[in-house]
Amino acid sequence: MVVSSAPGKVYLFGEHAVVYGEPAVPCAIERRATVEVEERDDDALRVHAADLTLDGYTVEYDSNSDAHPDVDVAPSLIEAGVGYLNGAAEQARDAADRPNAGFEITVESSIPLGAGLGSSAAVVVAGIDAATRELGVDLTAREVAQRAYEVEYEVQDGQASRADTFCSAVGGAVRVEGDDCRAITEVPNLPFVIGYDGGEGDTGELVAGVRSLREEYEFAATTVETIGDIVREGEQAIREGDIEELGRLMDFNHGLLEALGVSSRSLDEMVWAARESNAYGAKLTGAGGGGCIVALDDTEEAETALKYTPGCEQTFRAELDTEGVRVEEA
DSSP characters over 197-256: -S----HHHHHHHHHHHHHH-HHHHHHHHHHHHHHHHHHHHHHHT-HHHHHHHHHHHHHH
302 contact choice in ligand PMV, ligand ADP, Mg ion, none (CB below 5 to 8 Å, kind-dependent): none
Contacted entry of Mg ion, ligand ADP, ligand PMV, none for residue 320, CB cut-off 5 to 8 Å set by kind = none
Site string for ligand ADP, 99-138 (x = CB under 6 A): --------x-x---xxxxxxxxx-x---------------
Q: How far is the CB of 120 from Mg ion (least distance, A)?
A: 3
CA atoms of 182 and 163, how far apart (whole Å) = 10
For 286, list phi and psi in degrees, rounded to 5: 85, -150
118 known member of a binding site: yes
Contact partner, 18, from ligand ADP, Mg ion, ligand PMV, none, Cβ < 5-8 Å per class: ligand PMV
Contacts of 280 (CB under 8 A, 6+ apart): 243, 244, 246, 247, 248, 250, 295, 296, 297
Alpha-carbon distance of 75 to 103, in angstroms, equals 19
What SS3 state is found at 284? strand
- Nearest CA to 174 out of 12, 20, 284 is that of 12
Catalytic pick among 164, 197, 251, 321: 164
Can 43 be counted among the known catalytic residues? no
Q: Which part of the chain contacts ligand PMV (CB under 6 A), choosing from 33-41, 94-102, 140-148, 159-167? A: 159-167
Taking CB under 6 A as the rule, which mask of x and - marks residues 148-187 in contact with ligand ADP?
----------------------------------------
**Do the annotations mark residue 119 as ligand-binding?**
yes
- Verify binding: residue 16, ligand PMV, rule CB under 6 A: yes
CB of 278 to ligand ADP, least distance (A): 28
Decide which of ligand PMV, ligand ADP, Mg ion, none touches 243; Cβ closer than 5 to 8 Å per partner kind.
Answer: none
CB 29 to ligand PMV: min, Å? 11
Binder of ligand PMV out of 171, 191, 234, 286 (CB under 6 A):
286
Q: Cα 52 from chain centroid?
A: 15
What is 168-189 written as a DSSP string? Answer: HHH-SBEEEETTEEEE------
- Of the pair 139, 260, the CB lying nearest ligand PMV is at 260
Residues 167-226 that bind ligand PMV (CB under 6 A): 203, 207
188 is in an annotated binding site: no
Residue 35's DSSP bridge partners are 4, 107
Closest of 26, 205, 31 to residue 122, by C-alpha:
31
Distance (Å, rounded) from C-alpha 25 to C-alpha 9? 10
User: Could you say which of ligand ADP, ligand PMV, Mg ion, none residue 15 binds, taking C-beta under 5 to 8 angstroms by partner kind?
Assistant: ligand PMV
User: For residues 166 and 318, what is the distance between their CA atoms, to the nearest angstrom?
Assistant: 19
Q: How many residues bind ligand PMV, per CB under 6 A?
A: 16
Q: Does 81 bind ligand ADP (CB under 6 A)?
A: yes
Using CB under 6 A as the binding rule, whether residue 164 contacts ligand PMV is answered as yes
CA distances for 53 relative to 8, 49, 203, angstroms? 19, 8, 17
Q: Given phi > 0 = left and psi -120 to 50 = alpha, else beta, which region is 183?
A: beta
| Binding-site residue positions | 112-122
Interacting residues toward ligand PMV by CB under 6 A: 15-16, 18-19, 116-118, 120, 160-161, 163-164, 203, 207, 286-287
